[in-house]
Structure formats: C-alpha cells, structure tokens
Structure 1
C-alpha cells in the first residue's frame, strides 16, 4: 500500500510519483511522448501542477480513473462532502428518523464552515423527509423539497448529483412538475447509462413511480413498466428489487381474477424475501398483501 505519514492531503506530483514507483514503472514508460524530462521532474517534486489533460493522460497510463486517484491522494478516504453524501444514500429508508437526525446535525456542522449548494440541498431533503415522517403532511414537507427543485430547475444541464437528488424527491410534487421532472430524469438516465450506479437508480425511480400510481389505484398503468423493470433487474441480479417487482405484478394478477394463484405467489415471494434476510421487507409485504385483498372497492383507472 502507498503510504503518506504526513497526515495531510498529498500533492498531485507526490501522488503521481508514489503510484509510478509502486507500479514498478520507469519515468520513460509513463511520461514518454507526454512531457519533457525537466517538466516531469518539476511535477513530481510538486514544483509545478500539471494541466488537467496531461494529468488524465498520466492517470490513464496507470489504468486508473480520476476518482481512484483522488481517493488515494486523500489518504484512501473520501472528501467530507462525499462522506455526507454516502451517509445520506446509506439511510435507505425514510423510516430511519434517528439516522436522519444524526446526519442533519453533521450537515449543519459542515454548513457552518463551508458553502455548498449541494450539501444545502441535502439539508433541505433530510428535513423534508423528517417532517413527512413526523406529521404525515406532504404540504409541510414540500416546503423543504421546493427549494431543491428551484435550485436544480435553473440549470440547463443536470449532473450526477442532481439526478440522485431529484430521483429521491420527484414523487413529492404535484402532477405537472412531477411529470416534467420524470421526463428530465429519463433523459439523463439515458445520457448517463452505464455510469456509476445510474442504471440501478433508474430502476428504483421507475419502480417508485409505479408505487405512486398504485397508491392512486392505477394498477394496470404500471404493468408494462413493471415487466420492463423485471427484465432489467433480473439481468442485474438485484434480488430484492426482483421480488418487489413481482409482488407489484402479482397484485395486478389478482385484480385480473386469478386470486388463488396470486395468493400462492404472494406467499412464495414473501418467503423468498425472508430467505434473502430482509425480514422488515417481508413483514411489510405480508401486511400490504392482506390490506390489498381486504379493500372492498378498488377504482381502477
């Protein structure tokens, strides 16, 4: 492992030199046809900062990308902003109010010392989720989500962080902005296809949209979307999502009159979720299935 005992973030040239030496590569192997020997020595001694295109060229010769280079340069650690973002994404469910409160405190402390539109947007979203859980009042919660949308709406182009933020809150808006946001998300899901975990985020977003329609008793409108998602999730081997999609499709099967077969399938799906170790999800499915069957009148649009 490359080590830096200074306790401080490495300089660019220092990091390049350490990676080169650790890889057993000579200077000529890395820098030939890229820069002069004198230029190289100035960079590796931190006397000169390389241009971005030159830096990319060298990093690629290490079979490495910029994210990994920065991770190494930061003492094998993420930046403070990245750490907050990862904690936000690891909360997983808005039912985890304790985790949200703890993260809000961390975000507050960060914003006291730093300006960051992105972290401010995280702050709004966390508070909006918390209000929603405590009051079950979407209008009160939307007051926190609206500033996020207003900030991102001003941008001509959305980037990865914008996509993640909006995919987490799109269903909080009224129909007109909701449809516009969904169209924008679908546009950027295509542009970013294959980048990081965007494909998984795309599936989650589309499934959440189906959940929104189901809450409005618009079950049959979700069938084609769910079938596409099932194919995609199966290729990606996302076990939990596969079962959630099958559960939603099974509700449609029940509505079509196949009640006995649907009851059997629901039991099978719930048991499979238990086997995956997601006990909370299996318990929620069991309650949802009984509630779904117990509804005497369902308006299907």
Structure 2
C-alpha cells in the first residue's frame, strides 16, 4: 500500500531517471508530458487509472513501487499478510502467538476484515494445539467462513485464508470449498502465487476424495498434480502423491503398480531426508490399507 502521507512524485522521478526513461515515455497514454512534469513535482495529483498507466510505462507493478516508496519496507498490513502467507500449520506456538499479537495491535487502529480473519485463524491453530479439540478450534475458523461463504467469487487473499482453514471443516464442506477454489484459481493462471495455491488445493482435493472413498476421481486429480509437481520441481509434494497414488491403486485393485508408486514416494523422501513426512505417510498407508 502506497504511503499517501509521503509524496510519491519524487520517487517516480528517481525511478524514471535511473531507468533512463524520458518523461514522454512515462507519460504515454496517461497524460501530456507537461502535465506529467507537474505530477512528478507534486503540483497536481492524478487518477488511479493514470497512476497505473504510469507504472506500466515504468515496467513496474504497484506492489514493487509501494515497497520502494516505503524505503524497501513493507507497510504494517503488508507485513502481517506476508508473515501469514509464510507461516504453516505446524509452526511453533510462540511464533503463532507473536504473529497473532501483531495482527491484534494493527486492529486497535484499523478496522480490517482480512486481518480480523487472520487473527481468528491464528486463534484456531493455537486452540487446536493447546486443547486438541477440533470443535473449539472450529468455532474460530467458522467466523472466517461465515464472511467468505457469502462471496460470489473468491480472490487470492480470500483463497489464501481458506487454504489455512480447510482441515477444520467436515469433509463435505472442505470438498466443496476445494472444488470451488480451483475454479476461481483458473482465472489467475498467469499468477505465480496462484500456481502455488492451486497445487495446495489440488493436493487437499486428492486427500478429501480418498477420504470420501471416491478413488477414481482422486486418481484423476493425483495424476494431473503429479505432472504439475514434476514441472515445478515440488519433490516433497510429488513423493506424497506417489504414495497416495499407490494407496488409490491398491484400493481399485491394481496391487502391482501400487507397490511401485509407494516405493517411489518413499525413495524420494529418503533421498531428501524428510523423515517426519515419511513417518506420517507410513501411518497414512497403514490407515488406508488396513481399514
């Protein structure tokens, strides 16, 4: 978010001059050169469409300019979002508490629905860690879902929130969310961030379909995701998918191929020394093949 209190014309001028661009080039399709000169010197302001056209002419995104404008620092909200996107569900409790406190402090001065959702998600994770009671944790995740389920379309911010609360819901709800999220993510195929989210939701979908005993559909999604993992060099996810594909093949009576894929998955995990994930998958294997 651009700091509105600090003039950003001078920063645009520095960037333009450093790139060796003329005012005519940067002003193209936005305004005249003379008007742009007045904009750089903060004599006038401009509209949002013209601002974005200027950034486009500078070959720069709003996100990058905002970062530069804030002296190569994230704004308070951007920092909270960045930390939330980086944290995983198995993060240590002290980190979760610290991040939750930072988000709560932000809300003391700002009324922000997304940051409120993030606080509830942190609270859900902490509650689950302390009590091991999914019902108590769900009470916090439900508040996030209450807001998001009313939306006709989900955007990247909302999709990131949903990806962090999927496992709090009943399987049928999680399945519904995952399928709908993947449809909305198709609109973002040119965004790197969306690729990561799509793979995460697809992985959840494979697991949820397995839990729902829909092994044929699960196999279709697993095969597609396996190819994505190879293309993106996602070796941990690829290993998990190989093991899960082996489980699925066993369930649909293809025992010979099943053993091959299970072994491939465990071999990858051993090669990259992911012993904890291997242990969890061994438990998953036992759960499915012994039930």
- For residue 80 of structure 1, the aligned residue among 76, 86, 90 is 76
- For residue 193 of structure 2, the aligned residue among 169, 194, 197 is 197
Give the 5 Å matches for 1:153-168: 153-168=149-164
Are positions 1:146 and 2:160 aligned together?
A: no
How far apart are 1:94 and its partner, in Å?
3.0
Give the match's secondary structure for 1:113. coil
Name whichever of 283-292 and 42-51 sits farther off.
283-292
Give the equivalent residue in structure 2 for 1:286.
Answer: 279
Deviations 1:121-142 (A, max 9, x none): 0000111112122222221111
Give the root-mean-square deviation of aligned CA atoms: 2.8
Query: Structure 1: which 5+ residue stretches go unaligned?
Result: 1-7
TM-score (norm 1): 0.84
Is the Cα contact below 8 Å between 1:124 and 1:148 reproduced in 2? yes
Query: Structure 2: which 5+ residue stretches go unaligned?
Result: none
Give the equivalent residue in structure 2 for 1:108.
Answer: 104
How far apart are 1:45 and its partner, in Å?
1.1
Is the Cα contact below 8 Å between 2:9 and 2:42 reproduced in 1? yes
Cα distance change on mapping 1:229 and 1:37 into 2, 3 Å: closer
Cα distance change on mapping 1:20 and 1:137 into 2, 3 Å: same
Are positions 1:207 and 2:203 aligned together?
A: yes
Distance 2:24 2:46 in 1: 17
Give the equivalent residue in structure 1 for 2:178.
Answer: 182
Distance 1:218 1:187 in 2: 20
How far apart are 1:50 and its partner, in Å?
1.7
Distance 1:193 1:66 in 2: 20
How far apart are 1:251 and its partner, in Å?
2.1
Aligned residues between the structures: 288
Deviations 1:4-44 (A, max 9, x none): xxxx9752211211111111222233225642344222211
Distance 1:52 1:189 in 2: 26
Is the Cα contact below 8 Å between 2:153 and 2:184 reproduced in 1? no
Is the Cα contact below 8 Å between 2:120 and 2:144 reproduced in 1? yes
How far apart are 1:162 and its partner, in Å?
0.7
- For residue 248 of structure 2, the aligned residue among 252, 260, 266 is 252
- For residue 89 of structure 1, the aligned residue among 81, 85, 89 is 85
Give the match's secondary structure for 2:165. helix
Deviations 1:62-115 (A, max 9, x none): 222221121211211222112111211222233532321221121122222222
Cα distance change on mapping 1:132 and 1:215 into 2, 3 Å: farther
